[in-house]
Amino acid sequence: MSKPNLQVLDYLASKGVQFVLNDGGGNYWAGREDIEEYLDDPDAVFAKKLGVTKFEYRDWREAGGCVRCPATLRNGKQCSRLVAGPCLSAHEWLERRKQPDYCRKHSEGTASVRGLSVRAS
């Protein structure tokens, strides 16, 4: 953003104008410095507002706040199914990923062996 536009932001802030940023999921109060940073890197600002890293914020946003099944498929890729439950805040999402749940197909304790489903007792 050019200097004259930054001066406009300074003027508005001096008159008591409050800024609000929206990432599609929530509104966040922002100071004049946040607006300048937002223009350079919006994800960094939202991550800071949520108290997570920029990469965690992007992963959380991409998943829509829902946890994906951590099972590894035979082709080496991660399962793309969502775990049952509500969509979560960024902090809840990070905590739930530390102790992952599995989708119905890959529920914990179940393994697939050549097409057979085997449940550990």
Whether pLDDT at 117 is above 70: no
What confidence tier does 3 reach under pLDDT thresholds 50, 70, 90? low
Query: In this structure, which long-range contacts are made by residues 80-83, counting pairs with CB atoms below 8 Å and at least 24 apart in sequence?
Result: 81/105, 81/106
> d(Cα 73, Cα 120) in Å, to the nearest integer?
19
For the chain, give every domain's residue range.
1-51, 63-108
| Tens digits of residue pLDDT in 75-104 | 988 888 888 888 888 888 888 887 778 888
What pTM did the predictor assign?
A: 0.69
| Tens digits of residue pLDDT in 14-33 | 999 999 999 877 888 998 88
